[in-house]
Amino acid sequence: MNRHVQFLLPFGSIGCSIFRLILFEGILYILKVAVSPPYFRFPSRPLLVTGGAGFIGTNFIIEWLKNSAATILNIDRLSYGNRCNVENIMESSKYFFAQCDIGDLEQIKALLAEHRPVAVINFAAETHVDRSIRSPENFVQTNVVGTLRFLEAIQSYFRALPDKEKDVFRFVHVSTDEVYGTLSLQEAPFEETSPFCPNSPYAASKAASDHFVRAFGQTFGLPVITTHCSNNFGPFQFPEKFIPLMIHNALKGKPLPIYGDGEQIRDWLYVTDHCSALCRVLEAGRIGETYNIGGNNELRNVDVVQVLCDILDRRKPLSHGSYRSQIEHVEDRPGHDRRYAVNSKKMLEELNWSAKETFFSGLTKTVDWYLSHWDWMEQITGSSFQEWTDYNYGNRTRAQA
C-alpha cells in the first residue's frame, strides 16, 4: 500500500477525503499550467509594460496587479506619463519601475537582461492629434524611430531565449483606430482588413509603427500581435484630451470648446474594458494577427459634452443654471476626421470578449473619479498645461454651431 495513503488511514474517511482533495488540486494545477498564458507559466518573470505611467498603461497595471500574481516591469520616460499615477503601487513587491526612453537601445537591452520579461505590451507613444499638428517630428521620433529601436532590442532578446520561453513570448503592440482614416455616416465600421489611410501626423506615425511591428514579425519571426482601439476614456486621462478637458473646464467655469459643428462621431471605449481586452489578447491572441477593440458606443462630440454636463449638473450642481451654458463651438482643427468606428466581432468570436460598460455607465464612473481625485487634476494642470490650452484654443474663432 502506498505509504502516503497508509499514513492517512488512521484518520478514516476524512483522511482519504483530504488525500483525494490534495490529489485533485495537484492535477488541476498541472492542467492550469499546461494551458495557462505566458505570465502564469513563469510567475517569477515580469510582464514588460512600456508607457505604463500614461493613461491606458496606468489603468492596465492597476487592473493587472489586482487580478494577477505575476509581476510588472514598467518602462516610461515620463515625458507624457505621470509618476503620480502609479504612486499607490510603487511599494508593491510585484511592481518595478524604470525611467527610460524606448528608443534608448542600450538601456533597454540592459533592462531586458536584468529582468528577463516573459511578454511585452507596448503602450509607449505620443498620442494627442492636436500636438502632432503642432510638432509632427516629435511623433515620428517617439512613435516611429522609438518603436523601431525598441523592436530591435526585443528581437535581440527574443533570439537568445531558450525554445520553451520563445514558445510563450508575445509582443503586443497597442495602436489606434485612427490609422484607418475616416468613415462616412453610411459606411460600416472598420475591420482588421481595412486599408490604412491616416489623416493626421499622429495617425501616420502610429500606422508607420504598426508596419514596423508587422515587418519584425514577418521578417524576423518575432511573435507580434497588434490591437487597434477606439477612443478610450476613464480615470487618469490627461486633461488635454476631450472628456477630461471638458470636466476640468466645466468645474473651473471656463468655456467647453467643441470643434466645428460638433457632429464628429467617435466610438467610446471605457478604459478598463480595453484593459480586459488586452489581457485576452495576451492570453489567447493568435501570433501575427490584428484585433480591433471597440466599445460599441458611437456618439457625436456635441452629445458627449451635453451628457457630461447633465451628469455634472446632478453630481456637482451650479448655484444657478447648467454646465451646458459653458458650451462654445470653436474653429475646427485641420483635417479633422468625421467618424471613427471599429468592428470588434473578431474579439468576440475568437477571444470571447466584448465591452461591459455602456457609455453612460463609464462616463458616470469617470466623472465620479475626477471629482474624488481633484487634487490629481490640480497637480497635473500646471503652467505647461495652461500654456498648451491657451495656444490650442485661445486663437480659435467662434464657430457657428
Residue 395 to residue 330: CA distance in whole angstroms:
10
Distance CA 289, CA 285 (A): 7
Is-catalytic flag, 180? no
pLDDT given for residue 4 in this prediction: 44
Residue 38 confidence (pLDDT) above 70 = no
At residue 69, the pLDDT reads 83
Residue from 95, 180, 202, 393 carrying the catalytic annotation: 202
Q: Cell 472598420 identifies what position?
A: 190
Per-residue pLDDT, averaged over 191-219, amounts to 98
Q: Is the predicted pLDDT of residue 17 greater than 80, yes or no?
A: no
Report how far residue 381's alpha carbon sits from residue 373's, in angstroms, rounded to the nearest whole number: 13
Residue 20 has pLDDT above 70, yes or no: no
pLDDT surpasses 60 at 8: no
pLDDT reported for residue 34: 44
At 118, list the grid cell.
516573459
Instruction: Indicate the range of 65-74, 168-177, 283-292, 341-350 predicted with least confidence.
Output: 65-74
Average pLDDT, the chain: 90
Backbone angles phi, psi at 50, to 5 degrees: -100, 150
Q: Nearest Cα to 258, choosing from 321, 291, 301?
A: 301
Residue 90: predicted pLDDT:
80
Q: Rounded to an integer, what distance in angstroms lies between the CA atom of residue 229 and that of residue 374?
A: 27
pLDDT tier, 37 (very low <50, low <70, confident <90, very high otherwise): low
Pairing of strands 265-270, 298-300: antiparallel
Where do we find the cell 463609464? 362
100-133 per-position pLDDT tens digit:
999 999 999 999 999 999 999 999 999 999 999 9
Q: 18 falls in which pLDDT band (50, 70, 90)?
A: low
Q: What is the pTM of this model?
A: 0.89
Q: How far is CA 140 from the centre of its chain?
A: 20
Residue 230's closest CA among 275, 290, 295?
295
Q: Identify whether 178 is a catalytic site residue.
A: yes
pLDDT tens-digit readout, 157-181: 999 999 999 999 999 999 999 999 9
pLDDT in tens, 341-356: 999 999 999 999 999 9
Residue 202 known to be catalytic: yes
Paired strand residues for 265: 300, 339
**How far apart are the C-alpha atoms of 208 and 361, rounded to whole Å?**
35
Angstrom distance (rounded) from CA 266 to CA 82: 26
Q: In this predicted model, what pLDDT tens digit does every residue of 241-277 receive, in sequence order?
A: 999 999 999 999 999 999 999 999 999 999 999 999 9
Candidates 273, 252, 247, 266; CA nearest to 368 is: 247
Residue 39 predicted with pLDDT over 90: no
Catalytic residue among 178, 210, 337, 357: 178
The residue whose grid cell reads 509581476 is 71
Q: Which residue is catalytic, options 76, 126, 177, 267?
A: 177
Which amino acid type is present at position 91? E
| pLDDT on residue 400 | 53
Please give the pLDDT value at position 22: 57
Q: Measuring CA to CA, which residue among 390, 391, 397, 394 is closest to residue 330?
A: 397
Q: What crossing angle do the helices spanning 301-315 and 359-372 adopt, rounded to 10°?
A: 50
Domains along the chain?
Answer: 38-394 (3.40.50.720)
* Residue 312: other Cβ atoms inside 10 A: 21
